[in-house]
């Protein structure tokens, strides 16, 4: 079943210990959509400027992503640049030029509104809410956020999250949003904010899923070479929802098998790990579904005892 992804489509400048790229395709919406496209049909809602390159549009289209919801507005595409620390566990934002993204108003084409799976990338919580009301019948609404919104738009964010089925955030955000340092207690508090499903992403240390009383913990997949971690969390989100959509799962159903959510977490981890193997979306220019499934099986061998 198809997935609607709402999020930023951007040009990124990234410097890591492995190299530097001045300007390449990026943005949360892009990474989520590209990852989910390995599992199911994807519709992308976002905005780009008049400078958006034909080859980048062609790359998304070649992944089978429906671009009717990708608006083009007068002006330039959202630009963001950053530099990573030596161990790549920290990054410093260098420039944020919102450009056309400053006035982004997500409009879902009529045929997108029947999509059962909705992914809300990290955008202004008020915008996330305005998308949510356009898809009242969605089977699964999953979303992400960031420190900036937790600190500057807390109430609006909590109001948005209340209507989601799944919240996927990193451990620092989970602590900040819950006010709890201990991860288990942070999770218990966040489960009370609305979403039945909570995934706490821990970067290279894996991820933990909470769904009612069910808990699943995945270690990080070890990579010999990390080129660029940008987008790994978004790819996790895309792989997670993509797998659930491919299987047509309804996590709200009382018969839902929580192990399917665990498998979705592993697919999320797998997509996130591939993302780090090249700069930007480059790994996805050659990545095949067979490679994804092979790494999923490796993950199983890696964790079985």
Contact between 133 and a second copy per CB under 8 A:
no
Closest separation in Å from C-beta 224 to a second copy: 5
Neighbouring residues of 222: CB distance < 8 A, sequence distance ≥ 6: none
Under the binding rule (CB under 8 A), the answer on residue 185 touching a second copy is yes
Closest approach, Cβ 31 to a second copy, in A, equals 23
Question: Does 225 sit near a second copy (CB under 8 A)?
Answer: yes
H or E stretch including 267?
Answer: helix 258-275
Q: Does 181 bind a second copy (CB under 8 A)?
A: yes
Tell me if 147 contacts a second copy by CB under 8 A: no
- Rank residues 216 and 279 by Cβ distance to a second copy and give the closer one: 216
CA distance 146 to 201: 12
Measured CA to CA, the distance from residue 26 to residue 42 in angstroms comes to 17
Residues 2, 156, 219, 277: which binds a second copy (CB under 8 A)? 219
Instruction: Work out the burial of residue 286: count CB atoms within 10 Å of its CB; fewer than 13 is exposed, 13-18 middle, 19 or more buried.
Output: exposed
Round to whole Å and give the CA distance between 49 and 166. Answer: 31
Contacting range for a second copy; rule: CB under 8 A; set: 138-146, 161-169, 205-213, 270-278: 205-213
Are 124 and 94 in contact by the 8 Å Cβ rule? The answer is no
39, 104, 216, 236: residue in contact with a second copy (rule CB under 8 A)? 216
Of 130 and 202, nearer to a second copy (C-beta) is 202
CA torsion sign, 287 to 289 to 290 to 292?
Answer: positive
- By CB under 8 A, residue 218 contacts a second copy: yes
Binders of a second copy in range 255-294 (CB under 8 A): 259, 262-263, 265-266
Counting contacts by CB under 8 A, is residue 194 touching a second copy?
no
When the beta carbons of 86 and 212 are compared against a second copy, the nearer one is 86
Give the list of residues 6+ apart from residue 11 with CB closer than 8 angstroms, or none: 23, 24, 25, 26, 77, 78, 79, 80
Least distance in angstroms from the C-beta of 140 to a second copy: 19
- Adjacent-strand bridge partners of 13: 81
Q: Can you give the binding site for a second copy, defined by CB under 8 A?
A: 86-87, 181-185, 202, 205-206, 208, 215-220, 222-226, 259, 262-263, 265-266, 300, 302-305
């Amino acid at each position: 079943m198809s997935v609607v992804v709402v999020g930023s489509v951007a040009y990124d400048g990234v410097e890591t210990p492995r190299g530097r790229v001045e300007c390449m395709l990026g943005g949360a919406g892009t990474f989520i959509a590209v990852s989910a496209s390995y599992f199911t049909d994807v519709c992308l809602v976002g905005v780009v400027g008049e400078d958006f390159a034909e080859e980048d549009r062609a790359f998304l289209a070649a992944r089978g992503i429906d671009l009717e919801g990708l608006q083009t507005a007068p002006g330039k595409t959202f630009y963001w640049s950053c530099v990573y620390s030596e161990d790549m566990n920290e990054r410093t934002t260098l420039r944020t030029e919102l450009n056309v993204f400053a006035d982004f108003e997500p409009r879902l084409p009529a045929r997108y509104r029947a999509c059962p799976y909705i992914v809300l990338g990290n955008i202004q919580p008020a915008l996330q809410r305005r998308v949510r009301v356009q898809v009242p019948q969605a089977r699964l609404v999953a979303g992400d956020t960031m420190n900036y919104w937790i600190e500057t738009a807390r109430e609006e964010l909590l109001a948005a999250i209340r209507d989601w089925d799944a919240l996927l955030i990193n451990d620092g955000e989970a602590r900040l949003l819950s006010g709890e340092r201990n991860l288990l207690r942070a999770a218990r508090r966040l489960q009370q904010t609305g979403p039945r499903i909570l995934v706490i992403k821990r970067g290279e240390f894996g991820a933990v899923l909470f769904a009612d009383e069910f808990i699943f913990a995945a270690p990080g997949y070890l990579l010999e070479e990390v080129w660029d971690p940008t987008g790994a969390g978004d790819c996790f989100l895309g792989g997670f929802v993509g797998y659930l959509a491919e299987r047509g799962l309804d996590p709200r159903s009382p018969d839902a098998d929580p192990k399917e959510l665990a498998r979705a977490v592993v697919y999320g981890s797998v997509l996130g790990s591939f993302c780090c193997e090249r700069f930007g979306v480059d790994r996805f220019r050659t990545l095949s579904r067979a490679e994804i499934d092979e790494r999923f099986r490796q993950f199983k061998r890696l964790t079985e005892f």
